[in-house]
Amino acid sequence: MTKGKQWTIGEESELKTLVDAKAPIAEIAAKFGRKPAAVFIKAHRLGLRIDVDGYTSSSVPIPKQLPSAEEALLMLAGALKAATKPGLDKVEVQRLQVLATIAKTYQELLSAYINYRKIEINLKDREEKDEKTLQTKEHTSQQNITSKPDSATMAKNPTE
């Protein structure tokens, strides 16, 4: 739910034009009579990217491949080593704590993901084996039906 006044469709369109033109956020905010933070949030919600000093975009590039558990543990080890240096300021300590928490969480999620993928592969293999077994049974059943003589043939040749 919005806290301020609603954006009109025209304002959203004009915001897109201004962001595409790389207008400063202070100028955009003044034009709409809004706070820079409100402009930044609206742009983010519209999928527009504004690079502004003092504001950090929460969009994170998604890697094409997952880092390995070893890479996550190396990051964690690096944060641990950096945390042992004397004289770290409060911001650096917080950054290292966040890094350690993210690396630990990633390692746990990666482990669960790998287990899930193994289960998924096993299930697919089982389904393929079951399908082959079913096809073999159906084929065998059809061969038995076609190879059995019918009752008229049996009456003509009782020795078979």
Distances (CA, A) of 25 to 20, 45, 144: 12, 15, 80
How confident is the model over 45-60, as pLDDT tens digits? 888 887 666 555 556 6
Distance CA 54, CA 40 (A): 11
How confident is the model over 80-113, as pLDDT tens digits? 888 888 888 888 888 888 888 888 888 888 888 8
Residue 51 has what pLDDT? 67
Give strand ranges (E) for 10-144. none
| pLDDT > 90 fraction of the chain, expressed in percent and rounded | 22
Higher per-residue confidence, 4 vs 108: 108
Q: What are phi and psi of 7, to 5 degrees?
A: -85, 135
Q: Does the pLDDT of residue 18 top 60, yes or no?
A: yes
Q: Does the pLDDT of residue 1 top 60, yes or no?
A: no
Q: Is 52 left (phi over 0), alpha (psi -120 to 50) or beta?
A: beta
How confident is the model over 100-158, as pLDDT tens digits? 888 888 888 888 888 888 999 999 999 999 999 999 988 888 877 776 665 555 556 65
Distance CA 76, CA 102 (A): 9
